[in-house]
C-alpha cells in the first residue's frame, strides 16, 4: 500500500450549538489539516498522486471556502445577522466540530476523485480529530 500526506494550515472561526463549554461562544483556531491518500498502484510517473494535485484540489478548496471564514451550523441563530452584515460564513449541515470539519474535508477530496484515506484536523497544538470514512478505496 502506498501512502502520501499533505499538511494544510488555515485559520477559521466557529462556535458550537447545544454545547455548555467555552466553545459555545464565537472563537477562532489556527487549524492544520493532515490529508492522507492511499492506494495500491502508482501511475506512469511512479506517483500515487502528485503533491501539486493535492494542493490544487484540496488546499485550493480550503483556501477559498474555509480559510479566514466563520464556520457555522445551518441552525445557528447568528447566521442571518452575519450574512446581513456581509461577513464570510461557511454553512454546515452539522455542528462545526473538529470531527465534522475533518469529514467535510474528506468528503470534498473524495468527491474530487482523490483517494483520500484519512483527514486529521488539528484544532489546537494538543487536540485533533480524525475521519477515515468507509473502506471504499
The whole-angstrom separation of Cα 22 and Cα 16 is 9
Q: Which residue do the cell numbers 478548496 mark?
A: 61
Cβ atoms of 98 and 14 within 8 Å: the answer is no
- CA 95, 98, 99, 103 dihedral sign is positive
pTM confidence score: 0.94
Query: Of 27, 64, 68, 75, which is the active-site residue?
Result: 68
Residue 104, number of CB atoms within 10 A of its CB? 24
pLDDT of 135 reads 55
Active site residue 23: yes
29 annotated active-site? no
Is residue 22 helix, strand or coil?
helix
Task: Kindly name the residue from 23, 38, 53, 99 that is annotated as catalytic.
Answer: 23
Report pLDDT digits (tens) over 28-62. Answer: 999 999 999 999 999 999 999 999 999 999 999 99
Report the pLDDT value the prediction gives residue 122, as an integer from 0 to 100. 98
Q: Which residues 6+ apart lie within 8 Å of 75 measured at CB?
A: 17
Amino acid at each position: 500500500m502506498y501512502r502520501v500526506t499533505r499538511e494544510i494550515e488555515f485559520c477559521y472561526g466557529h462556535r458550537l450549538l447545544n454545547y455548555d463549554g467555552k466553545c459555545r461562544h464565537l472563537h477562532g483556531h489556527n487549524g492544520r489539516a493532515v490529508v492522507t491518500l492511499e492506494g495500491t498502484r502508482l501511475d506512469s510517473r511512479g506517483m500515487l498522486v502528485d503533491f501539486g494535485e493535492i494542493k490544487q484540489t484540496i488546499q485550493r478548496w480550503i483556501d477559498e471556502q474555509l480559510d479566514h471564514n466563520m464556520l457555522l451550523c445551518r441552525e445557528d441563530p447568528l447566521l442571518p445577522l452575519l450574512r446581513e452584515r456581509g461577513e464570510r460564513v461557511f454553512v454546515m449541515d452539522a455542528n462545526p466540530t473538529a470531527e465534522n470539519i475533518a469529514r467535510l474535508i474528506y468528503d470534498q477530496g473524495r468527491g474530487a476523485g482523490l483517494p483520500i484515506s484519512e483527514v486529521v484536523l488539528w484544532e489546537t497544538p494538543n487536540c485533533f480529530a480524525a475521519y477515515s470514512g468507509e473502506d471504499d478505496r
